[in-house]
Structure 1
């Protein structure tokens, strides 16, 4: 038996709680892990609270991130005792995920735990930091260098936003952070933001084209925020879109793309090829300052997950939530 968060749906409705589970709840896979840490992401909070139909199979152990030690392996890629890392691949949505003390997974979803990070540090980064790195790589590969101008980061107090600010500033970019919690400005400046602006300047309906400002954008909001970010991006600038915290809609025009040559790059972290994941994690190992973890992440126990998920949905959580599944 092992402990885990289980989401169930029955005639009484949709509910999530920590339960004692046995191996019968686990799904097919060629590697079995003793999970050490998981995380609580926005997608996990949506799943646990039932605010969005993230989970497509019940019962389900949520948790799109995990790090653990191989206990059993039928794969030549990994042996007993290896420490491995997982982000995405539908885990926590259609395959039981990381918010439990045990997981059974497909080996082709896993990468070795990077030597630069401890298990808890890797989960402090998690899908959020890995996604932020993919966004930065997209800006770089599309020619956005630090000398080109300011980079806008929306949803700045969230996990993606926090790591995007830190990564960009370490690489020499000038970062402008957009947030709905201006009281957190000291935190954002400490991460490396040169300026903090109120998200309301971007979150309302705007014009098809606005004054050119941003050389690049990392957006986790979607909706009007993404539309306005595109409208105010410089000629030849690049916008990396990776989230939908404001909404899935995109109420924009083609004007920024056909009149200013703006590039909109979609960033998917869930089904990303393994080679892209390894590249991103290698760069994270080279760039991340370990002192950032104390500012960006908070650790909770498995028993705190359900209440913390609601707090995250209510906008009360800053940065990242690490889950010690053995506490």
Structure 2
């Protein structure tokens, strides 16, 4: 097809404008693999791009969407052939490279990961960047030496995509999980995912003490700012916190005390440019350690035309779990 359905973001007199339109295949960017996109997902970064509330988009016009899964249509890359089922997360999709909210994408074959044999293309996007990032964080804690015997793990932004998957995976791997949320009405949901305790995020939003009472062996944080500062100050001796988000802000008002007096480590989790070996390890672990029934329960499906409204909702913290976007 010469044209295909896509969401396009353009510069406007004031900010940007996003609309669902037809996009010319000839205007796709360079790449050695063309993918027929079947499913995508809605992430916090996608909400920022769609609403223009943060300068996520670096070139115009842009097709947003940082996650895609689908079928290879054409390939000159030695590792991929027509018919292969593939996943692409990050690498500038939806920011500097035309992204996933379109029926076709052309990308660098080195960016792709094969959809695991036992996983559907839809479920790959139900997991998406959020779930893959959560698994990267879990693996980072374990590489640091944090085990279930070390003590509880706190997960912030618990009802969101990263938090929901992190709780489910940690619980499956035998950890005691403390879920922190601003929506205490979601306590039953979080406990069903595997949280043994649910705390109000207000316990972590005040000014952080240099050293507070030790409460957990580690944490997975998607909020940043004072929440992350409080997490670090409450982490036990030689514990670690994996930081992977900034929903609460980019600042980090903390002190060096937890690092030099308790030996706490702050582990940065980057999902965008993450090496391919770590990506494959994360996706492989997700096959065995993410309960498919729980994944189904936390996933909601929408069409391309619905991402505009839901993009605003995800920025307002009103989305529970994961949203998959049916593209094809």
Equivalent runs, 1:161-310 vs 2, <5 Å: 161-310=163-312
Q: Distance in 2 between matches of 1:13 and 1:129?
A: 31
Does residue 1:57 correspond to 2:55, yes or no? no
* Aligned twin of 2:6: 4
Q: Distance in 2 between matches of 1:274 and 1:230?
A: 29
* Counterpart secondary structure, 2:18: strand
Shift of 1:12: 5.3
Residue 312 (structure 1) aligned to one of 311, 314, 321: 314
Residue 99 (structure 2) aligned to one of 97, 100, 125: 97
Contact 2:204–2:230 (Cα < 8 Å) also in 1: yes
Which consecutive segments of 4 or more residues in structure 1 shift more than 4 A? none
1:12-62 Cα distance to aligned partner (Å, 9 max, x none): 541111111111331110111110000110000001001110000011001
1:109-141 Cα distance to aligned partner (Å, 9 max, x none): 001111121011010000111000010001111
Shift of 1:206: 2.1
1:143-165 Cα distance to aligned partner (Å, 9 max, x none): 11001111000000111000000
Gaps of 5+ in 1: none
Q: Distance in 1 between matches of 2:186 and 2:293?
A: 18
Shift of 1:173: 0.3
Contact 2:8–2:64 (Cα < 8 Å) also in 1: yes
* Counterpart secondary structure, 2:267: strand
Does residue 1:321 correspond to 2:320, yes or no? no
Contact 2:37–2:70 (Cα < 8 Å) also in 1: yes
Gaps of 5+ in 2: none
* Aligned twin of 2:85: 83
The two structures have a TM-score, normalised by structure 1, of 0.98
1:241-287 Cα distance to aligned partner (Å, 9 max, x none): 11101000000000000000001110001000101100110011111
Q: Distance in 1 between matches of 2:45 and 2:14?
A: 23
- Aligned-pair Cα RMSD in Å: 0.8
Q: Distance in 2 between matches of 1:12 and 1:316?
A: 26
Shifted more, 121-130 versus 11-20: the winner is 11-20
* Counterpart secondary structure, 1:215: strand
* Aligned twin of 1:115: 117
Shift of 1:310: 1.1
The two structures have a TM-score, normalised by structure 2, of 0.98
* Aligned twin of 2:33: 31
Q: Distance in 2 between matches of 1:137 and 1:126?
A: 17
